[in-house]
Amino acid sequence: MKNLRISSVCTVVFAASMISMSSSLVQAAECDFKKPIGVCTGTIKVGKTVGSKKSFTTTLYVKSSAGACSKVEYFVDSTPYQTVLNNSNSDTESVFGTKPTIKSDVEVEKCTAYAIKGKDVVGEETSTSGQQSFAGHWTGSLRWMIVSSPATVDIAVQGSSARGTWVDGKSHVTTNFSTTIRRNRLSFSFTDQSGAPSQGVIVFQSNNAATFKVSGSGIEFVGKLRKE
């Protein structure tokens, strides 16, 4: 009888485990990552770094404003990463590098919400409204070390296409660009005054605010813009 009771308990525990595993598999199958339904906001918090001698591991806490089923795409020190959130709005990731990862090394590119079987995940804004957020007159400044320069950017948007003009307030150089908006990110290539290939990146944040980064000739200017 004693052996029978032990066997019965083991059977119940095994059955419960199988039910739990089956439930998890059903929940995971509810996300449809082939069906994007909107834009969400992704945030990343830089956690603890361990390691030494040019071999470091940093923990990142990735979070999405979507309740479930979303994907956050981001850059860590110019290297692209993505975190798929399956029936969750947060997860942790580990990144490796020759130096500790700090907050300024991390840049969220976009967050995409996906459909859930039987209901929709509502993003904060549709793709179209996200693209239209770039349209208008922007002012701000760019800074590299102790050097700063006013920046004025005018952007016209049609669908996912954008045409714009950036005026460097210090050198008074005007740069025209034409590019495609990818969610909350707009990037364009140009040639600087020395003839070197350069790139500009504008990332829409919220409340008519955006970050602006210009890199070329081994120098990177970063700053903020606000739409007037």
Backbone angles phi, psi at 163, to 5 degrees: -125, 140
> Pick the residue with more confidence: 39 or 77?
77
Structure tokens at 29: 């199958």
CA 187 to CA 200: how far, in whole Å?
A: 6
Residue 4 has pLDDT above 70, yes or no: no
Whether the pLDDT of residue 130 is over 70: the answer is: no
pLDDT, average across residues 5-11: 40
Mean local confidence (pLDDT), 6-12: 39
Q: What is the mean pLDDT of residues 85-95?
A: 89
Mean pLDDT of 172-192: 86
Q: Are 101 and 44 in contact (CB under 8 A)?
A: no
Q: What is the pLDDT of residue 93?
A: 93
Averaged confidence pLDDT in the chain = 79
The CA distance from 225 to 228, in Å, is 10
Distance CA 109, CA 192 (A): 24
Position 19 confidence tier, pLDDT thresholds 50, 70, 90: very low
Q: What confidence score (pLDDT) does residue 123 get?
A: 38
The whole-model pTM stands at 0.46
CB distance 56 to 99 below 8 Å:
yes
Q: What SS3 state is found at 24?
A: helix
Does residue 83 have a pLDDT over 60? yes
Predicted pLDDT of residue 119: 58
Distance in angstroms (rounded) separating the CA atoms of residues 201 and 109 = 10
Interval 139-152: pLDDT, tens: 999 998 888 999 99
CB neighbours of residue 54 within 10 Å: 8
pLDDT of residue 155: 93
- Beta carbons of 106 and 60 less than 8 angstroms apart: yes
pLDDT at 171 over 70: yes
Nearest to residue 71, comparing CAs of 88, 54, 46?
88
* The pLDDT value given to residue 31: 84
Q: Name all contacts of 103-107 with Cβ < 8 Å and 24+ positions apart.
A: 103/46, 105/46, 105/76, 105/77, 106/44, 106/46, 106/60, 106/74, 106/75, 106/76, 107/74, 107/75, 107/203, 107/211
